[in-house]
Amino acid sequence: MNQLSSPSTQLAASSMKGRKVLVPASVWQGFTILELLVATTVLLVVMVILLQLTGGLGQVWKSGSGKISAYQNARSAFATLNRTLAQATLNTYSDYVNSSGAPRTTNNAATFSPDKFMRASELHFLAGPTDQLLPGASAAKNPGDAIFFQAPLGDTDANSLAPLSRAMNSTAFFIQYGAPDSDILPNWLKPTSSDVKRFRLMQVVVPTESLQIYNSTADATYDLNWLSAFKTPRSSAQPTVRVLAEDIPLLIFRLRLSPQDEKTSASSLGAVYSDATRGSVLSPKYHYDSRAWEPSYPNGQRVLAGAGGAARASLMRNQVPPIADVVMISVDRRSLSRFDQASDNPPTQLQVPAGLFTDSAKLDADLTAYGKQLSDAGILYRVFRTSVEIQGAKWSNN
């Protein structure tokens, strides 16, 4: 029996006699339940941490990608605006005027007596607060400034005019709040359009064959009837509007002279040139009007308001400003999701307070104040700013 006993029996017997022996690996029993529970718990904790890290990185990536995409659209729109503005022109020439500075018109042709040459143009360059210039606009839904001018854009709906790549167009840039205009969407997109209201940077281009500017400038009688092509709300008879970018709550144009020309012109315009007034001598209230010299221009309004108004109107006479400071603010759409975007009025957190952007000398301070308002509301934003040299400007301080 002893010779036939198994090794395990012999080892067990040896251990019973108090001697230390090695137990073969074949008799190991593995991990205990407690050890398995501990290992599983540790593994789960590691997996949870990894999932949280991965999810966080995914949110950061998604948010970053959305911001980059949104700001890329804004950057592209800003470049389009600046490129178009640089082409603004008045096609200025010299023509006779009488002793009072009025040109020959159909009304005074019989009595007109030429006295001297002055700058002349049938075109019009106009900029200022949108709610004061754009027909149908309001300060809440059309914040900031609008600009209206002519440029050789070659935009036409007539096939016969298509080869004229430098044909003249009237164009405008401004901000409008509201739902997407279904009239400007392709048919396949209309069923998918939402009713979410946003601030949008708009460009309107009047086709060459539909120009109305000459109807308003044929005589030296001031009117803004040609702006009816840009009025809001729009009708089907108006030129098609182009939405350049969305979530743009502010657009500012400050038309100015070079620092040397500002120093030269400051005293005649009733201004004192200094670091505090730099950039604001020509358009202290953000208004610029190349036809403010006309006798029927509203007295005491816009360009003529304040000291040096008459001199300012004379200096602007049929001249394109040499430099335009352009400021645009773009906001992150994700940070607007908690605000009411179905109301007819924009969220108060996005509205520009009444006291801001009324004095062009305070542009930087007003931008800081408006940026703080957005930040306090948890709205992420980016400021786009540049100075555009208008190529068609042949400025003269005379």
Secondary structure (3-state) at 325: strand
Tell me, what's the pLDDT at 65?
54
Q: What pLDDT is recorded for position 184?
A: 58
> Which among 313, 391, 396 is positioned nearest to 89, based on CA atoms?
391
Amino acid at 290: S
| pTM, 2 dp | 0.81
The string over 305-329, giving b where at least 16 C-beta atoms fall within 10 Å of a residue's C-beta and e elsewhere, is: eeebbebbbbbbbbbbbbbbbbbbb
Number of H helices, E strands in the chain: 7, 11
Q: Where do the domains of the chain lie?
A: 80-389
Residue 282 burial (C-beta neighbours within 10 Å; 0-12, 13-18, 19+): buried
The reported pLDDT for the residue numbered 14 is 47
How many other C-beta atoms can be found within 10 angstroms of the C-beta atom of residue 56?
Answer: 10
Write out residues in the chain with pLDDT < 70, as ranges. Answer: 1-30, 56-70, 181-195
Q: Give the per-residue pLDDT at 1.
A: 46
pLDDT of residue 284: 93
Q: What is the pLDDT of residue 234?
A: 79
Q: Give the separation between CA 47 and CA 45, rounded to whole angstroms.
A: 5
**What is d(CA 78, CA 136) in angstroms, rounded to the nearest whole number?**
25
Looking at residue 13, what is its pLDDT?
47
pLDDT, tens only, 246-258: 999 999 999 999 9
- pLDDT number for residue 388: 97
3-state class (DSSP) for residue 298? coil
Structure tokens at 237: 């008879």
Edge-first strand order for the sheet with 241-246 is 241-246, 198-206, 169-178, 145-151, 126-129, 288-289
- pLDDT tens, residue by residue, 64-86: 555 556 688 899 999 999 999 99
Contact 126, 290 (CB under 8 A): yes
Token pair, residue 104, equals: 């020959």
292 close to 302: Cβ distance less than 8 angstroms: yes
Residue 48 Cα to chain centre, angstroms: 43
